[in-house]
Structure 1
Amino acid sequence: MSVSSLLKNKCYVNGKWISAKDRTVFVVINPSTGEIVGEVPDMIEGDTNEAIAAADAAFQTWRQTTAKERCQILHKWHDLILKHKEELAVILTKEMGKPLKQSMLEIDNGASFVDWFAEEARRVCGDVITTPAKGRKLFAFKQPIGVAGMITPWNVPHAMVTRKAGVALAAGCTVVLKPAEDTPFSALALCELGEQAGFPPGVLNVVTCSRQNAAKVGNAICTSPLVAKISFTGSTAVGKILLKTGASTVKKFSLELGGNAPFIVFDSADVDRAVAGLIVCKFRNSGQTCISANRILVQEKMYDSFVEKVVAAMKEQLHVGDGFDAKCTVGPLINQRAVEKVENHIKNALSNGGKLLLGGKRHKLGGTFFEPTLISNATADMLFCTEETFAPMAAIIKFKTEEEATRIANDTRSGLAGYFYSNDHQQIWRVADKINVGILGVNEGALVACVEGPFGGVKESGIGIEGSKYGIEEYLHIKYVCIGGL
């Protein structure tokens, strides 16, 4: 199968490839080259409601399939994803600029969620409950919740679809999914492979729309009484709007929202390990991940050595370029708004006493390429500490005591991921207990969303869990059954 046969320019609804009712389209731009990747339908409320109706109709039969039947189809989907791994990775790199090697890893990661939840479908169990009265039997049945509406982000456009849709389909739910306007082709390619795997019409549906119509489509999903569940990954601001809108029909929500991850290096840490962890954590995907290190805190005795080694590592390991360049480790930012944001963060840091050590400006390649940037003498009152930078910029703060570091780490309304490095075992247990996040890396910076680990945040970083044995519970409800007269 060629790349062109997976690069779909229609939406997938009720088992058919369709255009928007009004025939309007929008173009998707490769952020690396500025070239047009393709065009897709620009759907609105009416189109979305038709997709929801199709999903609701399909749910009535899909919910009756056995777990084994769903497992078999999901395993076929998983196998097809891996069979077409290179083609899917090429599409991903074209639409969002990620280095091809990182795209290949994302396809592997995405497939792993489908494989995992194919098996979890067969492990959904209820309970027989001890009765307080004679002549009765009490049961707790777990059943699929219904149609799941999903909104996925541009920074991980393949794995976010499989992580959300894979578990919903395994549970017996049907799906209506809106991918980010910057990266719709990865989701549509998965629909083609899902059809080949054997998903019945209406079970998996994808609607695309431009940024201009995103609010309309999101509102249709959130207000439809046929949609029982919303799963969203994106900004905290948008998550709050969806939560408020979905309250009108009392939906179940899973929200993975913005992060502001602390990355703490204590004096007892292995400095080389900490530097290696930071390079991966901060600069993977050009810094455009929700679990990326955002506030880097280094204890005073370690500070100078750490900064020196980070400078050397960045110079040696970070290579800006097109995602198809074999040497590339840092691709472009997704759009000009992202470039303007990092420029604003750098300007704020330097005007408040920060020292520029590397980078600091747009890359000579032009477009949305940006130089990997390192700033020392940073302080916790700078703008990057209150906003996700989402770019290849690292600013390092010096601290004196463990109490100071944990206070700064927790001084945010975000609570998705956090990291710290220490070889003091007593300190490890103390700090792990104190840092208020949903995901914590200890002496580990490559904290990827592996399927075995529960992924979710606290505070304003979200609601619910994705992945792991807990993830499928988000798509089930418990029905209490009491049989009397026995």
Structure 2
Amino acid sequence: MIEHARLDTDSRKRVESEARDLIAQIRAAQHKGWVNQFLQEYQLSSSEGLALMTLAEAYLRVPDAATADMLISDKLGEADWRRHSGKSNSKLVNSATWGLTFSRALVGEGETGPLKRLVSRMGEPFVRQGVGAAMRLMGEVFVMGRTIDEAMKRMKKPENKGFTASFDMLGEAARTKKDAEEFFEAYWRAIKAVAREPSANHTISIKLSALHPRYEVSQYDKCVPEMIDLLSQLCSEAASHNIAVTIDAEEADRLDMSLDIIGAVAKRPELRGWDRYGLAVQAYGKRARAVIAWANALDRLMNVRLVKGAYWDTEIKRTQVDGLSNYPVFTRKASTDVCYLACAKDMLSADNIRPAFATHNALTTATILEWARDAHGDDWREFEFQRLHGMGEGLYEKLVREDGYHCRIYAPVGGHRELLAYLVRRLLENGANSSFVHQLADNDLNDSDLLADPVEKVASVGGTRLPEIPLPKDIMKDWRNSSGIDLTDRETLMATAEAVNAVPFTPEGTDSVHADPHHPSGRSMASLDAARTSDDDVHSAITSAQAAYPAWDSRPVEERAAIMERYADLIEENRIELMGLIVKEAFRSIPDALGEIREAADFCRYYAHRARCDMALKELPGPTGEYNAMKLEGRGTWATIAPWNFPLAIFVGQNAAALVTGNTVVAKPAPQTPAIARRVVEIGHQAGIPEDAFKLVIGGADVGAELTGDNRIGGVAFTGSTNTARRIASTLLIDEERPIIPFIAETGGINAMIVDSTALPEQVAADVLTSSFRSAGQRCSALRLLIIQEDVADSMIEMLSGAMDVLSMGDPGDPSTDVGPVIDRDAYDKLMSYRETMRPRWIKTIEPPEEGLFVPPTMIGLDSIDDLTREWFGPLLHVTTWKAGKFKETIEQINAKGFGLTMGLHSRMQRSADVMRHLGRVGNLYVNRSMIGAVVGSQPFGGEGLSGTGPKAGGPHYLARFCAERAVSIDTTSAGGNASLLNLDRG
């Protein structure tokens, strides 16, 4: 790739010369336009620029004045606007700065004096109207028009003379069927509108994610045929008017699916004579050149728009979170630039590609011009440049109006509500300190810096990966991040599903007639209790573990830690088998099963790391002649009791913590999931844990009672219900002769999420559905109570209802399943009985499969927070509202329930997050994200109050609870004096 993009010496000189001319034109344009100067003054690298961006992202969707004022205060009140006063060459920018300073005086907490009194008398509506006008003005800068007709009219203005447009209907993605239908209609209307002015040569850009609410690999068999049909309809209409259509690029995990759809439409016989169809290719993607080769190999002419890429930060984070082997995008900006050039050369020499180069980079533009002239002469114009509306002014005006090159403006169309996500994405792209637009505004960089050859940059560093961005396996630094499987790749997903479903498994606790646990007559607690361990087995297991304790505890911590790391390796090596057991015994979906494997491995490696740190001998200060030290050691034999909802991850986590600290363990899994426990104990023994140090007992409540009631147990770790935790706590205290031992309990909670009117509805919908219904709501951290600000409740509930409509219920071994069955008949009966009593309050529910233990995801309306008095452990989401201005009171109402596991907030106000952090009495607070999926070492998990005792699993304080602290103090003075002191002074 590097050599393909390299320029020879003479070409490099010509390119630099032309690029310098282009930079001069850009600088001249920047000094003319107040917008460019405003963006230069308030760059994203400054707190003021960031405040403006976040205000723009949220303000226009806030319907109520109270929240609008709070948002303005939150975003403008902390920044220093005065330091920008009078610095710009633009009077308009300086006026805007004065306005921001003026607003700060009203909303700021520390401002006093005549100005404060003046603006206070004028009132908050004055500032609110001013900010609203400013945000709408930003919308006009970056959006071509609110409607397609308005956008086409604006393209006729003098500043757009010579340019054509590619109109894009604003909106990031469809979340509901209604969203998708509205996007389809918007595209259809745009095609019709453009057709009315054929001489303008405008085109349409289409986002596939806008056409279907489940544009996901897991839904491939359903969504891809539907999307091919929808896109074919739009393309057929465009072809009938000879209008060009380009399919926009999206996230890398959708690339293969996108190509399947684009390729299928390209081959439709009714479109064979239409040569105005194409796609966008993102050069930051490592597969960019392969996509261009794919497009060139289609038996037709394809328009290809080459862009740098719009989701870089998302791609990096997703790859790290999923534990994949490497990134799908380049991490060095220079590598992306080199790939862009290599792709451009490929496109210019391709037989079946009509190129379009979307760039704001003067050096890239000059290089493309050089290559085009080399290949086709000075008069060749069979390609076009493209730029974003609102950015890149000055780069192409001369090329278009004097030199005759083609340039198309990528022109977003939509209302102010649709603007927000788009605006933030564009500002982030062009405000990043690595972007040409940002560097051009950096006074510390001269033209030579801007014209540095990216090919030489990449060649000089000897690699394409930025060292500051570690590989996903290395992001935790002190321990290896668990490895994942790329379930967004269709072939990988299907192969994984096939292997998982092929794992042999015979469920325990079911009779021969109803061996299928999904069936309503399947396993129940009564049948599960039949497969329990006998009383003698519990007693003998404790006896064996006690006998093994001295030898295990005496082994160096390094040995035990190494065994835990080997345990993690073996869990990952056996992950398909273990995933199969989880899917078939615990009814977890394939992604959930993979998550369990990864969490279990993370527990082992993290606790190995912590044991090395925490259990080392620590010398303590003291007087001269005295040695003081402390260390942690094992306590004896622990009883661990794990739940069925995380039958592998929590089971392994509890036992790994106890074992690595030198304790032996008698482990009791939930009676619903014994097979998983048996296999994972076997793997632990294979890793090097002595068999007698890690014992397993199987059974229900009676086995648990005997285990915790034995006076030889030195500690208990439990995850389960609050009522069971209370019973265990009573057992541990009832015998007055029994030693007082540690009890670690993690229980459930009435987990609540508060949503205010600044929240992005699409993000709320995605996170609420994930938090409420993933794993059939059978997670202790799952969302039980959603509290929406009443000003936006109706619209938010409408979107949630629409998103629920496209959930898929079914066999957890099916890759397309979102919601599987609940764990057993007893849970099913309890949930369905309660759900039926709440029927008058149903807001939304979906139809379940005809047979199976499927509790339909249901949204239930409540009059107030106080109406929900207990946790319902399943896919039942309760919804109520709160009034603006009552945020603190709402948090206190949640606290008053006594639970304290998880709490969520969706808001764009940092002060709201700060208030919740201060007032919320919960173990885990999640802001602007889902409430499930805590990561070991990053998000230690555990509650307080009725939700547990702590310490947090996967956190830095967890291991100490499994240990005895032992201190020693030794007098080292000699008889009659202190030799160390006596020999200090020799003068």
What is the TM-score normalised by the length of structure 1? 0.88
Given the alignment of the two structures, is residue 119 of structure 1 paired with residue 609 of structure 2, yes or no? yes
- Matched with 1:243 is 729
Q: Which has a greater percent of strand?
A: 1
- Matched with 1:414 is 899
| Alignment partner of 1:454 out of 908, 917, 940 | 940
Structure 2 letter corresponding to 1:76? R
| Residue 428 (structure 1) shift | 1.3
| Residue 36 (structure 1) shift | 7.7
- Matched with 1:479 is 966
- Aligned 8 A contact 1:355 1:377 in 2: no
Structure 2 letter corresponding to 1:100? I
* Alignment deviations for residues 165-188 of structure 1 (CA, whole Å, 9 cap, x no partner): 111111111110110001111111
- Aligned 8 A contact 1:179 1:208 in 2: yes
- Matched with 2:844 is 357
| Residue 336 (structure 1) shift | 2.3
- Matched with 1:386 is 869
- Aligned 8 A contact 2:783 2:931 in 1: no
Distance 1:377 1:161, change over 3 A: closer
| Residue 375 (structure 1) shift | 2.6
Given the alignment of the two structures, is residue 463 of structure 1 paired with residue 953 of structure 2, yes or no? no
Name the CA distance, whole Å, in 2 between partners of 1:471 and 1:183.
Answer: 25
- Matched with 2:881 is 398
* Alignment deviations for residues 74-133 of structure 1 (CA, whole Å, 9 cap, x no partner): 12111111111011011111112111221122111111111211222211234322335x
In the alignment of these two chains, the number of paired residues is 459
- Matched with 1:295 is 785
- Aligned 8 A contact 1:82 1:108 in 2: yes
- Matched with 1:366 is 851
| Residue 238 (structure 1) shift | 0.5
Q: How does 1:218-297 map to 2 (within 5 A)?
A: 218-247=704-733, 248=735, 249=738, 250-297=740-787
Q: Which has a greater percent of helix?
A: 2
Structure 2 letter corresponding to 1:320? M
Q: Secondary structure at the match of 2:943?
A: coil
Structure 2 letter corresponding to 1:137? Y
| Residue 243 (structure 1) shift | 0.7
| Alignment partner of 1:93 out of 573, 583, 590 | 583
| Residue 469 (structure 1) shift | 1.8
Distance 1:100 1:306, change over 3 A: same
- Aligned 8 A contact 2:510 2:522 in 1: no
| Residue 190 (structure 1) shift | 0.6
Q: Secondary structure at the match of 1:408?
A: helix
* Alignment deviations for residues 423-459 of structure 1 (CA, whole Å, 9 cap, x no partner): 1111110122111111111111143231113222111
* Alignment deviations for residues 323-364 of structure 1 (CA, whole Å, 9 cap, x no partner): 11121110101122222322343344345xx243223x7x33
- The answer to which of 406-415 and 51-60 deviates more is 406-415
- Aligned 8 A contact 1:150 1:230 in 2: yes
Distance 1:5 1:349, change over 3 A: closer
Higher-Rg structure is: 2
Q: Secondary structure at the match of 1:319?
A: coil
- Aligned 8 A contact 1:262 1:419 in 2: yes
- The answer to which of 101-110 and 123-132 deviates more is 123-132
Given the alignment of the two structures, is residue 31 of structure 1 paired with residue 517 of structure 2, yes or no? yes
| Residue 377 (structure 1) shift | 5.1
Given the alignment of the two structures, is residue 128 of structure 1 paired with residue 619 of structure 2, yes or no? yes
Q: Secondary structure at the match of 1:293?
A: coil
CA RMSD, Structure 1 to Structure 2 (Å): 2.6
Given the alignment of the two structures, is residue 327 of structure 1 paired with residue 816 of structure 2, yes or no? yes
| Residue 464 (structure 1) shift | 1.9
- Matched with 1:171 is 661
- Aligned 8 A contact 1:146 1:174 in 2: yes
What percent identity do the matched residue pairs reach?
27
Given the alignment of the two structures, is residue 104 of structure 1 paired with residue 594 of structure 2, yes or no? yes
- Aligned 8 A contact 2:502 2:580 in 1: no
| Alignment partner of 1:191 out of 678, 681, 685 | 681
Name the CA distance, whole Å, in 2 between partners of 1:48 and 1:415.
Answer: 33
Q: Secondary structure at the match of 2:818?
A: coil
- Matched with 1:18 is none
Name the CA distance, whole Å, in 1 between partners of 2:741 and 2:567.
Answer: 28
- The answer to which of 147-156 and 474-483 deviates more is 474-483
Name the CA distance, whole Å, in 2 between partners of 1:3 and 1:283.
Answer: 23
- Aligned 8 A contact 1:416 1:458 in 2: yes
Distance 1:103 1:26, change over 3 A: same
| Residue 290 (structure 1) shift | 0.7
| Alignment partner of 2:559 out of 69, 90, 94 | 69
* Alignment deviations for residues 15-59 of structure 1 (CA, whole Å, 9 cap, x no partner): xxxxxxxxxx95596532467899995213321111111111111
- Matched with 2:288 is none
Structure 1 letter corresponding to 2:533? M
Query: Structure 2: where are the runs of 5+ without partners?
Result: 1-498, 974-987
Query: Structure 1: where are the runs of 5+ without partners?
Result: 10-24
Distance 1:3 1:47, change over 3 A: farther
- Aligned 8 A contact 1:380 1:397 in 2: yes
Name the CA distance, whole Å, in 1 between partners of 2:780 and 2:570.
Answer: 28
Distance 1:143 1:469, change over 3 A: same
Distance 1:482 1:8, change over 3 A: farther
- Matched with 1:428 is 913
Q: How does 1:53-68 map to 2 (within 5 A)?
A: 53-68=543-558
Name the CA distance, whole Å, in 2 between partners of 1:329 and 1:239.
Answer: 31
